[in-house]
Amino acid sequence: MAKSDRERLRETFTEDAELYDRARPGYPPELFDDLADLAGVRAGCRVLEIGCGTGQATVPLAERGCQIIAVELGAAMAAVARRNLARFPLVTVENSAFEDWPLPRQPFDVVVSATAFHWIDPAVRVEKAADALRVGGALATISTHHVAGGSEDFFREAQDCYERFDPSTPPGLRLRASAEIPADSAELDRSARFGPAVFRRYEWELSYSTARYLDVLRTYSGHRALESGARADLLSCIGSLIDERHGGRISKRYLTELRVAHRRTC
């Protein structure tokens, strides 16, 4: 059976796991405090993490004493995650697609997915997450949005690079303000397996040198999916823009969103 565009794109992440581990930012520390309050993440709780990558969210959970099974699609990503988590004896990393991974007999207290839940088959992710949880257990998903702010002149100018070298770029595309990004619980509401979702949001900025920012771009699925020549031209265009017009450094604003919902009795 032919792979869907979603399946092909999600497989790009494992092509350079070391770069992903080095370049991708983590998550705001206060998110994990809220996760403890909203989802009951504490020492000894059983956590299933879907799509752990190289462990950016797994390490803070492990530091809280959780018993974690982390399921990761990419073999190279899973290998780096095992290295990063080697000091935590209560953490196991499984190399599998979540859709194919057999749920253990004992249910989990919390299911967590950090910047990965949207890559799971929509026909599977909510129902299987519910099946993995005990009654009253929590599904916590973390999403990251690129929002207006930071070096706004740079991001406006960079649109020209994308329109030249990425044919999928809509003309005149601009980053949205964080207030314009809706909180979405529709798929959880439709499933009837979960109670009302609670949201917490965190806006933050990171400063990047030219080289660091280009490394981050090299980890994005849309950039990795470009033909190699177009990708090289795009990155060269963006790098020149940072160096020549912005002094070799830009700032990027992120919106990180935590969504928590508890499994109903049904």
Q: Please choose, from the candidates 252, 247, 246, the residue with its C-alpha nearest in 3D space to the C-alpha of residue 149.
A: 252
Q: Per mean pLDDT, which range of 11-15, 114-118, 164-168 is the poorest?
A: 11-15
DSSP readout, 64-102? TT-EEEEEES-HHHHHHHHHHTTT-TTEEEEES-TTTPP
Q: Please choose, from the candidates 177, 249, 240, 247, the residue with its C-alpha nearest in 3D space to the C-alpha of residue 209.
A: 249
6 or 81: which leads in pLDDT: 81
Calculate the alpha carbon distances from 114 to 125, 172, 211, 232 in Å.
Answer: 13, 30, 25, 29
* ∠ CA 146-148-150, rounded to 5°: 95
Q: For 84-104, what is the mean pLDDT? A: 98
What SS3 state is found at 17? helix
Task: Reply yes or no on whether the pLDDT at 222 is more than 80.
Answer: yes
Residue 266's pLDDT band (boundaries 50, 70, 90)?
Answer: low
Q: Are 132 and 111 in contact (CB under 8 A)?
A: yes
Residue 15's pLDDT band (boundaries 50, 70, 90)?
Answer: confident
Whole-number Å distance between alpha carbons of 266 and 257: 27
Residue type, 148: A
Which sign does the torsion angle of CA 222, 127, 135, 65 carry? negative
Q: Are 150 and 205 in contact (CB under 8 A)?
A: yes
Provide the percentage of residues in the chain whose pLDDT is more than 90: 90
What pLDDT score was predicted for residue 265? 86
Residue type, 38: L
Residue type, 36: A
Provide the percentage of residues in the chain whose pLDDT is more than 70: 94
| Global confidence as pTM | 0.92
Q: For 171-181, what is the mean pLDDT? A: 93
Per-residue model confidence as pLDDT tens digits over 52-79: 999 999 999 999 999 999 999 999 999 9
What pLDDT score was predicted for residue 3? 54
Q: Side by side, which strands form the sheet with 91-95?
A: 91-95, 67-72, 46-50, 108-114, 133-146, 249-262, 198-209
Q: Which segments of 4-128 are extended strands (E)?
A: 46-50, 67-72, 91-95, 108-114
Per-residue model confidence as pLDDT tens digits over 101-114: 999 999 999 999 99
Task: Reply yes or no on whether the pLDDT at 237 is more than 60.
Answer: yes
What pLDDT score was predicted for residue 12? 57
Q: What is the DSSP letter of 139?
A: E
Q: Please choose, from the candidates 9, 14, 120, 16, the residue with its C-alpha nearest in 3D space to the C-alpha of residue 75.
A: 14
Torsion-angle region of 220 (φ positive above 0: left; ψ -120 to 50: alpha; else: beta): beta
Task: Reply yes or no on whether the pLDDT at 1 is more than 70.
Answer: no
What pLDDT score was predicted for residue 2? 43
Q: For 33-47, what is the mean pLDDT? A: 97
Q: What is the largest CA-CA distance in the chain?
A: 59
What pLDDT score was predicted for residue 8? 53
